[in-house]
Amino acid sequence: MDPSRGAGSPAPRACDYGGAMRPIIGITSYVVPATWGVWQNLPSTLVPHDYVEAVTLAGGRAILLPPDDRDADVLRALDGLVLAGGPDVDPALYGAAPHPATEFRAERDAGEMLLLRAALDAGLPLLAVCRGMQLLAVAAGGSLHQHLPETLGHERHRPAPGVYGEHEATFTPGSRIADLMGADRAIHCFHHQGVADAGSLTVTGRADDGTPEAVEDPNGGFVLGVQWHPEYRRDQRLFGALVDAARTRMKENGTACADR
């Protein structure tokens, strides 16, 4: 018996490399007024539950991460990270003035950029969704189109409030996203901004109008950004791949112990 532990303390469990322990996946969230029960417009930390369901169904344990730009220490407790969708990215981050249609949350940008850069430095498996892909591109030295309807001349990527656009994407043969998606190329999107320059990332998926739909890190590791919303239909191909990569990292780093 370990004398440093109290008599009533449970013994630490052995590391389980058989996949029984679920990888802990952080999901970025945002603070907005919400209403439930007797509470009206109460500032709340939230994210669409589809993200949580997608991570859970893939075998992970979802943890919400509110905006926090003080440090990225929370990454030590995570095995993977999802950068969720949300409002526009502050154009000042890529040296541009805001378009009249651009709506951003500076506090969320600051917290997520800090978290993102630290996750990339740590080699944490990362899935970036919609806004998340745009932030990933900006972090890689890229830039954004601030209002695609002006650039493309149509609104198929965001056809109406609360309505997802649906179209097919073309993926680069041999890329991670092509291997994951297989023959099914149908995607569901809701965005009015898009990646103009992916920086050091590689664009591996495009819509038929040329809009980047997927980006990857050419240096390896699980770093994948998609412009669409795989959580909308609980697409387990992408979330399953993220959780698998997180589980592999747990084994390699010896963090699959329940007492970490």
pLDDT digits (tens, 9 = 90+) for 99-113: 999 999 999 999 999
Determine the pLDDT at residue 114. Answer: 96
Q: What pLDDT, in 10s, does the model give residues 190-220?
A: 889 899 999 999 999 999 899 999 999 999 8
Please, which pLDDT band fits residue 9 given cuts at 50, 70 and 90? Answer: very low
Q: What is the mean pLDDT of residues 22-29?
A: 97
Q: What pLDDT, in 10s, does the model give residues 113-125?
A: 999 999 999 999 9
Q: How far is CA 195 from CA 27, 144, 214, in A?
A: 22, 4, 10
Please, which pLDDT band fits residue 260 given cuts at 50, 70 and 90? Answer: low
Please, which pLDDT band fits residue 5 given cuts at 50, 70 and 90? Answer: very low
Q: Can you read off the two tokens belonging to residue 65?
A: 């991460």
Q: What pLDDT, in 10s, does the model give residues 137-196?
A: 999 999 999 988 888 778 787 778 888 888 899 999 999 999 999 887 889 898 898 999
- Among 80, 83, 168, 91, residue whose Cα is nearest residue 131: 83
DSSP states of 75-141: GGG-SEEEE---SBPPGGGGT-PPPTT--B-HHHHHHHHHHHHHHHHHT--EEEETHHHHHHHHHTT
Residue 128 near residue 225, CB atoms below 8 Å? yes
Q: What is the mean pLDDT of residues 129-142?
A: 97
Does the pLDDT of residue 13 top 70, yes or no? no
Q: Can you read off the two tokens belonging to residue 81?
A: 């990270």
The percentage of residues in the chain with a pLDDT greater than 90, rounded to a whole number, is 67
Burial of 9 (0-12, 13-18, 19+ CB in 10 A): exposed
- Among 158, 212, 204, residue whose Cα is nearest residue 181: 204
CATH architecture of the region 24-253: 3-Layer(aba) Sandwich (3.40)
Least confident stretch, 6-15, 84-93, 109-118, 151-160: 6-15
Residues with Cβ within 8 Å of 143's Cβ and at least 6 positions away in sequence, in order, are 94, 95, 96, 137, 195, 196, 197
Least confident stretch, 6-10, 72-76, 89-93, 127-131: 6-10
The percentage of residues in the chain with a pLDDT greater than 70, rounded to a whole number, is 90
Q: What is the mean pLDDT of residues 32-55?
A: 93
Does the pLDDT of residue 7 top 70, yes or no? no
Residues tagged active-site: 130, 229, 231
Domain map (residue ranges) of the chain: 24-253
- Segment (H or E) for 53: helix 49-57
Determine the pLDDT at residue 129. Answer: 97
Residue 169 near residue 111, CB atoms below 8 Å? no
